[in-house]
Structure formats: C-alpha cells, structure tokens
Structure 1
Amino acid sequence: MRNSLEPEIVGAALVTSGQPWRGVEFHPAIGSTNSRLRELLTGAAEGIGPDASRLASADGALWWVVLTDHQTGGRGRLGRAWEVPDRASVAVSAAVPVDGPADDPAGATGLGWLPLLAGLALARAITSTTERAGHALSPRLKWPNDVLLPEDGDRKVSGILCELVDVPGPAPRRAVVVGTGVNVDQDRDELPVDTATSVALTGVRVRREDLVVAYLHELAALVGPGVGAGLGADGARDAYRAACSTLGQVVRVHLPVGEPVEGTAVAVDETGALVVDTPSGRRAFAAGDVVHVRRR
C-alpha cells in the first residue's frame, strides 16, 4: 500500500526562516505541475490550500511549489510524455525568479545553467536522503541534468524540464518553472523503458517528503536569491562539472533538427553548453539529447 504525500510536512520544512520558498500547493492528482504553476504565475488561476493567501503579495507565485501524488500529463524534453503510477514518484514544480525586469535581456545570461544545477541539486538530495535511510547512493549526472544511478547499471531515475515564464504585474518579471519527476517506489515492470530505474530498485526506501525537502533546499542553495548573470557561484559550476559523467565520454548528440553529431565531450562552457570535439572541429551544444557511446 503506497501512502499519499503529506504536504504539511513539506510546507513546514520549506516555508521557514532562511529559506526563500513561500508556499506549497498540493494536488492528489493533476495533469501537469508545470502547467499549474505557470497558471499561478500568470494569474490565469487562483491558488488553493493553506498558503494561497500569500499569492496576493507583490511577489505572487515566485518561489512557489506545486506538488502532486499523481501527475497524469507530465512532459519531458522534446515533448515526451512523463507518466508514472499513483503515489510511486515525486512530481514537483518550483518557481525560481529571474533577476531583472522582463525586458532586460541581460537577466537571462545565466539561464543555461539552471537546468544543470537543478540536476546537481537532485543528485545531492538523493545522496543525503538515502544516506539517512541507511545506504547512501552515488548518483552521476549525464548532461544536461539526467540523474543516473550506478547502483542499478547507470539507469535514469529522474527527468527535469525548465520553462521560462513572463510574470505580469506593475513591474513585470520572469520566472523559471523547474519541473522535476523522480522515480521513487516503482518496481521494474512499472517503468516505461529498461534504461529507467527507481530509488527502491537499488534496495533503498525513502520517504518522498524527505526527498522533496532535501531537493528544494539544495536547489535554493545553488541558485541563490534569483537567476541572472551570476547564477551559480563558480564553486557550484565546478561541482556540476565534477559530477558530470558525460565529460570524457564519446557521445552522440541528437539535435532537435538535423543529423546526430558524434565526438568526445570535453567541457561544459560558461553558458552551460556541452563542448564536443567532433571530426569537423569543436562545437558547443546548448540543447540536444546525449547518448554515451563509450569512455575514451
């Protein structure tokens, strides 16, 4: 019997002194936490739950969290569907503000790093949460933010999708909706592909509430007060590079348009793009699906 999330536990741990998070909205089931949070940010919908009154403040739904037991219409990169059994996973979206006014292009300079640091935050949260459960896992990152578990053949345990949203108001702003899905309690036959895994399949059982809280604490610590040109201190970016198992691999990059490109991944540059040495020269990729072919 899988238990429902207890949003009161999550809210009490997040909406507290020293944390930027301002409210948690919970749904037993919902199509997409990203879509719901985008509606709250743009004023297309009213909030529900004990924290809803805070949405009327000047900051609205910035630093807001939407959480569900069962996401029925989630999306991954390139529009892929993301659906899992009820109460078996984490599905959470968080609204991180972008520094500067909405018409200031400089504020978006560091946006390429946000998806990467979200992956690092999740990897750290999985390690700390499983350590408290008695057996620390050692996740690895595949660029940009796939979290892999070496304890189960480097299979993928999560998906992260970031979306930029214009926030209306007297002083229009922008926010990044960071949507995250983590396989927590699925059995092998409940996963869509053989390359996926869950935390439980490594032999470790964790509370979903603990994982959500640890992840959002780590995310807030990594991105600071808001996203902008300075997103992620040098130490955070270096930590991502150290945890990124893509570097040093021969990779195949599948692009949104055109043929795949193969080469050796050699760096993550200052914009967060993956730098690959290819037969035709060095190239940087800001987007694309990466397949690890082999380590050089």
Structure 2
Amino acid sequence: MTPSRWSDLDRPPLNEAALRRAVVGSPLWASLDVVDATGSTNSDLAARAAAGAPEGTVLVAEEQTSGRGRLDRRWSAPPRSGLFFSVVLRPGEAGAFGKPVPVHRWGWLPLLAGVATATALSRAAGVDTSLKWPNDLLLTVGGEERKAGGILAERTGETGVVVGIGLNVSLSDDELPVPTAASLALAGAATTDRDPLLRAVLRSLADWYEAWRTAGGDPDASRLRQTYAAGCATLGRDVRAELPGGRDLSGTAVGVDDDGRLVISGPEGEQAVGAGDVVHLRPSA
C-alpha cells in the first residue's frame, strides 16, 4: 500500500473547510484556499490580484518549494512544518474601512503584518515574539534571538499589495535551514497546531488592518507605531544597514518615521532607511 502524503500524524494537514468557516465572511477576508504545494504563494496570489482578485483573498500552501523573502532570497521547509500564506490587500481603494490610504503610508504594511503576527502568537502559542526591522519574526531559543519567520509585501497594480507570511512551526533542530533559524516548537510554544495559529494570525491581521485603514494609514492614530516600537528588537541597538548599491550605514536605530522607514543616528546625523538589510551589531538590553 502506497503511504499517503498525509500519513505523518505529527504534521496533519490544515482543515480547509474549518478555516473557511472560521474566517471567511468577516469584514476583510473574502476567500481562503489551501493548496498542497506551490512555488510561492506571493507569486500565485500576485497573478490572481492582477486578474482582479478582491481584497481579502487568502492563499495558504502546505508546502512552498520556491518561497521568496526580501532581496529575492529563497527558502523552503518540509511539508506541513509551518504556515506559508499570502493575502491580497487593496489600500489604494475605498472600501468598508474608509478612503484610500496614501501610497507613502503603504510602507507600514509589512510592519503591520509583523505586529499582527507577533501579538497573535503571544496569545495563541504563549511565546514572546520580537520584530527585526522591517520584516523578521524573532523567537528566543537557548537564550539567543533567532529568526522564525518573515514577511514579504509586494505591490500589485495601482491599488493592491500582496503580503506573504512564512512561519516555522514544528521544525526540529536538524531541519533548520541555518543554525540561526528557529521554530515555535524549539521556542517551547504551548501549541504547534497550525489551524488555530493561522486563525489567530488572520484575525489579528484583520483587526490591525481595519484600525490602520480607518485611521487613513496614520501610524499614530491607529497605535501601530507605538505597538511596533514596543516589540521591535532593532530599536535602541547599534546596527549596520546594507543599502542598495553596496553602501553601508552604521549607527543606532532610534525610531521609525511616518512612512515606516528605520531612522538611524550616525556620525552624519539621522538618516531614514527604506530598503536594505539591517544587521544587529550588539545584543538587546
């Protein structure tokens, strides 16, 4: 008898029907599909968005074979070992949450997704999750900060953004792509059941997105900036920003500006960084 690809009882498949019942029909989520495997949920959903997929379309994959991160980095993980999903948001359109959000505020979307994911995991999994600007989800394993997930926001068309979230859930030490990675299991999470974890993240994302949209994208009126700063492991630390074009900027990360850019105070004063790779140069206090 040929073994079923779902025969790993430690990693059961997501319950698509139950997930739809739990989240679809809310003010934000319009549809939810779960696929066995795909190259990248962001790429697939970007194509759907270009064809007119509405705001609130959700695509979840049990396995990503060509997952993409910032700076076009590639990664993959064993089937059903994590949460790999993308959503369509259309902040450039008027809708249930009010007027369109100005484009210069859209830089807050990956930060918003980070806040939503971190707060959801704190409640649902009982783990403290911190954020590395702009889009890394950090967990503490063995007293060390390690990356357990990431967020990728990509603009699609004039009004839309596809936001992808990848989170390691049940990976063991020998399955980690690099020694500095982590998973919820390794961080001692209270649960690694992906169904309630995904529901919690989607509900939190909907709540934060509604608050941000209702406030016209204002990070202070929506309390997004305050909440992000409280959970951001980058602020207050010495950092090196590796910028496009091969230029580096070193200094102390002192804040996040109105457009979601990291403000670094260095020898030449304060400068805002909107793109690049940020390296933490000293431990968090």
Q: Give the shorter-chain TM-score range.
A: 0.7 to 0.9
Q: Distance in 2 between matches of 1:290 and 1:109?
A: 21
Contact kept in structure 1, 2:92 and 2:101, CA below 8 Å? no
Q: Distance in 1 between matches of 2:156 and 2:211?
A: 17
Q: Which residue, 107, 114, 139 being the options, matches 2:129?
A: 139
Letter of the 1:216 counterpart: L
Q: Which residue, 27, 32, 35 being the options, matches 1:24?
A: 32
Q: Distance in 1 between matches of 2:265 and 2:218?
A: 26
Q: Distance in 1 between matches of 2:146 and 2:127?
A: 13
Q: Does the alignment pair 1:277 with 2:268?
A: no
1:156 positional shift = 0.7
1:246 positional shift = 0.9
**What's 2:145 paired with?**
154
Letter of the 2:107 counterpart: G
**What's 2:176 paired with?**
191
Instruction: Write the deviation string for residues 90-139 of structure 1: whole angstroms up to 9, x where unpaired.
Output: 100001112348xxx97312101111111111111111111xxxxx2111
Q: Does the alignment pair 1:5 with 2:14?
A: yes
Distance of aligned partners of 1:66 and 1:106 in 2 relative to their CA distance in 1, 3 Å threshold: closer
Contact kept in structure 2, 1:114 and 1:231, CA below 8 Å? no
Q: Distance in 2 between matches of 1:289 and 1:28?
A: 32
Letter of the 1:99 counterpart: G
Distance of aligned partners of 1:60 and 1:77 in 2 relative to their CA distance in 1, 3 Å threshold: closer
Distance of aligned partners of 1:106 and 1:25 in 2 relative to their CA distance in 1, 3 Å threshold: closer
Q: Does the alignment pair 1:241 with 2:229?
A: yes
**What's 1:165 paired with?**
156
Q: Which residue, 86, 98, 101 being the options, matches 1:93?
A: 86
1:289 positional shift = 1.1
Q: Distance in 1 between matches of 2:216 and 2:75?
A: 31
Q: Distance in 2 between matches of 1:199 and 1:115?
A: 21
Letter of the 1:157 counterpart: A
TM-align CA RMSD: 2.1
SS in structure 2 opposite 1:124? helix
Aligned length: 267
Letter of the 1:8 counterpart: A
Instruction: Write the deviation string for residues 177-207 of structure 1: whole angstroms up to 9, x where unpaired.
Output: 0001000010111111111100011232321
1:146 positional shift = 1.0
Contact kept in structure 2, 1:137 and 1:151, CA below 8 Å? no
1:89 positional shift = 0.8
Q: Distance in 1 between matches of 2:151 and 2:93?
A: 24
Q: Distance in 2 between matches of 1:190 and 1:231?
A: 41
**What's 1:55 paired with?**
none
Distance of aligned partners of 1:226 and 1:22 in 2 relative to their CA distance in 1, 3 Å threshold: farther
**What's 1:54 paired with?**
none
Q: Does the alignment pair 1:208 with 2:194?
A: yes
Q: Which residue, 185, 206, 226 being the options, matches 1:220?
A: 206
Contact kept in structure 1, 2:91 and 2:101, CA below 8 Å? no
- TM-score norm. by structure 1 comes to 0.84
Q: Distance in 1 between matches of 2:120 and 2:37?
A: 24
Q: Distance in 2 between matches of 1:165 and 1:29?
A: 23
Letter of the 1:111 counterpart: W
Letter of the 2:228 counterpart: Y
**What's 2:3 paired with?**
none
Distance of aligned partners of 1:106 and 1:95 in 2 relative to their CA distance in 1, 3 Å threshold: closer
1:276 positional shift = 0.5
1:259 positional shift = 2.6
Q: Which residue, 217, 229, 242 being the options, matches 1:230?
A: 217
1:13 positional shift = 1.1
Unaligned runs of 5+ in 2: 1-7, 95-99
1:151 positional shift = 4.2
Distance of aligned partners of 1:226 and 1:119 in 2 relative to their CA distance in 1, 3 Å threshold: closer
Letter of the 1:186 counterpart: L
Percent of residue pairs identical: 41
